[in-house]
Chain A
Amino acid sequence: MKDARPLVRLLADPASAVQVKDWTSLIALARAESLSGSLAWRLRGLDLPPRVEAMLEAARRDGEAARVQALWEAEMARRALAPLGVPVILLKGTAYAAAGLEAGRGRSIGDLDILVPRLALPDVERALLAAGWEWVKEDAYDDQYYRRWMHELPPLIHRERDRMIDVHHAILPLTARPKPDMEAMIEDRSPLADGLFTLSPPDMIVHSAAHLFADGDLAGGLRNLWDIDRLLREFAERDSGFWPALRERAARHGLGSAVGRAIRLAHHLYGTPINRCQAPISKPLNSKERSRSKIGARHQLTAGWSGSKAPDIFFERRLLARDGWGRTTRPATRLGFYVRSHWLRMPPAMLARHLWVKARRKG
């Protein structure tokens, strides 16, 4: 396997599992992209070779353990923060699992990410420190850098449970060009049964897309794009007004371009259906047509969600840059996206200063 396309194809079309010849490579790929649990759920109930089925069963069990652990960490944070009376909004994987969304099925979940109002940060920080969380880093520059420019506190780790928490007050670094309306995002939160919250459905997509295209270097991007595919399908199914709401929210947060790119790529790679009123598309393409379709054609298909400069094909090349041994490939593309991620986060002068401090410390 030269790239991750076979994994993408199988996620989009589980019935094609009967044609898979090289399960070893496929599973190595899925593990490297943190998609083995999602894949295992996607392939559940199919008639597969017994050894493959046993591995998928283990992956499902592992995903279940990850879900329990993530929800427990959220519950412990809830207990620590409950006396403050501030809204605590779960983000990313923990949010999907807590809300029982399809995107949370088998998903690997790392740190606990929460969002709180910026004004509540000092109290939240104090309460977490009192409940057994500790700073991971000791470095004064990093600390100052985080507090001044970042959208989160420096990472904290719980001394007994060894789990990290990222406390966000915004979804993008303060230095990034888009300025999401955090007040509106917090205001529109959706309640969970236990007193915690998630973002509203449109804002969940906006956050995921922002994280993928306006912040990081696309590492682990296939998994994030899979989240977006699952979320779009589920929300659109549930609520006929979802697509217009998403368009409105994306524009409001200044993230229309990131959301548009996420939708186009999810459609192209995972066959995510796009609403007709939003995009003049009559039927999802079959996989052959999809792989033949050219960038221009795709832009046309998903018109209304276009409007960014770099062609999607570069993003696609980056997302698929992994082989059947689980190795990363296309180093030049990766480097390009790494540089881009820094560029997006900071104005040039600040980037230069940041890299200078980092470089001096290495010397």
Chain B
Amino acid sequence: MTDKSDGIDEESGALPSRRVVLALGAAAASTVVTIRPALAQTAGSVLNCEIPVPAPQAGAGQFIAADGTLVPAGTAGAYPPLARPLKGEEVRAMLNSGRAPAGVDSQAAQAYANYIRRLQAGMSGFTCYASLQMPR
């Protein structure tokens, strides 16, 4: 399909006829970017969200180590689960400026922030976390 009035040339993989130089680039360079579904920009308008730490299905009752992984309750150097879920705004402040939520000491907040960074789709809090990751 070609329609010059579009301002964008649509074609189907045809090679240009003139001889041009093609740089193949360094092995580590990236040449493919896939567009992924986006909700982040609108999340503030559609969702009043919160993140349980940890997510019940990931293992409620377990402690959170400094690197954010879950460890058995009582592990030395790890922090107990939070009694209440964190509000979106608290998480944003914690991730962006390291500000600890009310009633949480700053080292524990670091561990909780790391836990949140490791959240994956399918776990409680992931949608909320994804929505808070604003570029800039």
Interface residues of A (CB under 8 A from B): 134, 136-142, 155, 157, 159-160, 162, 164, 360-363
Partner of B121, one of A137, A140, A162: A162
Interface residues of B (CB under 8 A from A): 34, 36-37, 56-62, 69-70, 120-123
A251 to B: closest C-beta gap in Å: 37
B1 to A: closest C-beta gap in Å: 20
Nearest residue (CB) in A for B81 is A361
* A361–B60 touching, CB < 8 Å: yes
* B69–A138 touching, CB < 8 Å: yes
Partner of A363, one of B57, B61, B70: B61
B59 to A: closest C-beta gap in Å: 4
B133 to A: closest C-beta gap in Å: 14
* B61–A138 touching, CB < 8 Å: no
Most chain B CB within a 10 A radius of its CB, from A142, A159, A361, A362: A361
Partner of A138, one of B36, B56, B58, B60: B58
B65 to A: closest C-beta gap in Å: 11
Which residues from A are CB-within-8-Å of B121?
136, 157, 162, 164
* B123–A136 touching, CB < 8 Å: yes
* A157–B59 touching, CB < 8 Å: no
* A160–B34 touching, CB < 8 Å: yes
Which residues from A are CB-within-8-Å of B60?
361-362
B40 to A: closest C-beta gap in Å: 14
- Give Cα A157 to B34, complex, Å: 18
Which residues from B are CB-within-8-Å of A159?
120
With A155-B122, A157-B120, A157-B122 in contact, do A137 and B57 touch (Cβ < 8 Å)? yes
Which residues from B are CB-within-8-Å of A361?
56, 59-62
- Give Cα A285 to B53, complex, Å: 55
Partner of B61, one of A155, A164, A360: A360
- Give Cα A361 to B70, complex, Å: 13
Which residues from B are CB-within-8-Å of A157?
120-122
A266 to B: closest C-beta gap in Å: 32
- Give Cα A360 to B57, complex, Å: 13
- Give Cα A142 to B61, complex, Å: 13
A354 to B: closest C-beta gap in Å: 15
B110 to A: closest C-beta gap in Å: 19
What are 28 pairs between A and B in contact, CB < 8 Å? A134-B120, A136-B120, A136-B121, A136-B122, A136-B123, A137-B57, A137-B59, A137-B123, A138-B58, A138-B69, A138-B70, A139-B59, A140-B59, A141-B59, A142-B57, A142-B59, A155-B122, A157-B121, A157-B122, A159-B120, A160-B34, A162-B37, A360-B61, A361-B56, A361-B60, A361-B62, A362-B60, A363-B61
Nearest residue (CB) in A for B73 is A361
Most chain B CB within a 10 A radius of its CB, from A138, A159, A360, A363: A138
* B59–A138 touching, CB < 8 Å: yes
* B70–A139 touching, CB < 8 Å: yes
- Give Cα A137 to B122, complex, Å: 9
B52 to A: closest C-beta gap in Å: 11
A157 to B: closest C-beta gap in Å: 6
Partner of B122, one of A139, A160, A164, A360: A164
A146 to B: closest C-beta gap in Å: 12
Which residues from B are CB-within-8-Å of A362?
56, 60-61
Which residues from B are CB-within-8-Å of A139?
57-59, 62, 70
- Give Cα A225 to B91, complex, Å: 43
- Give Cα A134 to B120, complex, Å: 9
* B34–A137 touching, CB < 8 Å: no
* B58–A137 touching, CB < 8 Å: yes
Closest 4 CB pairs of A and B: A139-B59, A361-B61, A136-B122, A361-B60
Nearest residue (CB) in A for B123 is A136
Which residues from A are CB-within-8-Å of B70?
138-139
Known: A138-B69, A139-B62, A142-B57. 11 other contacts (CB 8 A): A136-B122, A137-B57, A138-B58, A139-B57, A139-B59, A141-B59, A157-B121, A157-B122, A159-B120, A164-B121, A362-B61
- Give Cα A134 to B119, complex, Å: 12
Which residues from A are CB-within-8-Å of B61?
360-363
A138 to B: closest C-beta gap in Å: 5
